[in-house]
Amino acid sequence: MAKFLNTTGISYHLEELIKNTKDRLILISPYLQFHKRVKDHLENLNIQKRDIRIIYRENKLQVEESNWLETQIGIRTSLCNSLHAKCYINENEAIVTSMNLYSFSQQNNDEMGIHVTKEKDADLYNDISQEVQRLLTISEEIRVSVKKVDKEIEKKSEKTVSEIVKTKDNSKSKLLTTKELSQLTSLSSRKINNWFTDNKLMYKKGDDWITTKRGKEIGGIEKSGQYGKFVIWPEDVSKHILK
């Protein structure tokens, strides 16, 4: 039997639905603005290589949302110009609701919805699943790209690169992988990779990490390994990562 949800209930069950996904997650919302906890759960699922699909209507994402989606290579996004429905579903449960996947809505709006499980109401769950598949079929899959660069982020990146170039001494600096930089700085490998991508020093293409022109300026060198290309960096970069 379906369970009625108010705003608080929707937010709670949505996080649980995302967090408990074991196979496939589909998020349908005309407008997107990800709450930090939702981003954390999605990043965790993406690392585990879960199948994540997002269908939305407006291709006018804020810079922060675009930048974040750009880093989440495994998350597939689709546009549906006629979309008004809001639905969140994994292999075991679904939420049909009035609430967009929008941080403001979760915190400020009065919303309603229903929570359905495959175990307790298989027919209703299957009906929802079939409609979700139809929306996937009629939606146009896109690759989110950053069309506008935040000026403050760009200035910070340029300043960081300039400082590294001025102080680098490659003849005395060992070349380290991001894993080794992680061990040296006590930061996670993901944070190290994010620092390099945020500063436009490298980017991910498929399974490969590619050095940008800026990355090469500070001494980044591409190498090939068992799992694709990776980049090694001068050890001196570690002190800039920790700033």
Q: How far apart are CA 221 and CA 211, in angstroms?
A: 7
Per-residue pLDDT, 172 = 61
Per-residue pLDDT, 58 = 75
Given pLDDT bands bounded at 50, 70 and 90, which one contains residue 116?
Answer: very high
Write out the DSSP string of 97-135.
ES--EEHHHHHH----EEEEETTT-HHHHHHHHHHHHHH
Per-residue pLDDT, 166 = 67
Which two tokens mark 12? 């709670």
Q: Give the rounded percent of residues in the chain with a pLDDT score beyond 70.
A: 89
Q: How far apart are CA 137 and CA 219, in angstroms?
A: 45
- What number is the average pLDDT over the span 111-140? 96
- How many residues appear in the chain? 243
Count CB atoms within 10 A of the CB of residue 169: 9
Q: What is the pLDDT of residues 83-112, one digit of tens each?
A: 999 999 999 999 999 999 988 777 778 999
Hey, where are the domains in the chain? 3-142, 151-241
Q: How far apart are CA 162 and CA 108, in angstroms?
A: 43
**Residue 101 amino acid letter:** L
**Pairwise pLDDT comparison (52 vs 161), residue with the higher score:** 52
**pLDDT over 70 (residue 214):** yes
**pLDDT over 90 (residue 240):** no
- Between strands 208-211 and 75-79, the pairing is unpaired
What dotted CATH number matches 3-142? 3.30.870.10
pTM (2 d.p.): 0.61
